[in-house]
Amino acid sequence: MNMQKLLQQAQDMQERMQRELEEISAEAGVGGGIVSVVMDGHKHLLSIDIDPEALDPEDTSLLEDLLVAAFNQASKKMDEILRVKVGAIATSMPSIF
């Protein structure tokens, strides 16, 4: 296989993966839906939704814990999505040996 062609395929694949990372998202809700977050494939937080009933100015620790839990759950979901996507891409790559 031509090395130049292989390098071009790798660059094309990297560009495609970057576009896909921007397009995919993972959402997680905790506390019975009191807090939910959405993150993209780069693991950037896109949105946070907080039920107004969860806002207690006297005790912010519960809300803080829910935010951390929702973010961690979304991160785990995204890890799984990425594992599947990377596996699919890896099997489509041509062998160089």
Asked if the 3-92 domain carries CATH number 3.30.1310.10, the reply is yes
Quote the tokens at residue 64: 């803080």
Residue with tokens 């996507």: 85
Distance CA 77, CA 94 (A): 28
Q: What is the pLDDT of residue 89?
A: 65
Q: What is the pLDDT of residue 59?
A: 85
Asked if residues 16 and 88 have their Cβ atoms less than 8 Å apart, the reply is no
Q: What is the pLDDT along the chain (97 residues), one digit of tens a residue?
A: 688 888 888 888 888 888 888 889 999 999 999 999 999 998 999 999 999 887 888 888 988 999 999 999 999 999 999 888 877 766 665 555 4
Transcribe 24-67 into DSSP letters: -EEEEEETTTTEEEEEETT--EEEEEE-GGG--TT--HHHHHHH
User: What number of residues does the chain have?
Assistant: 97
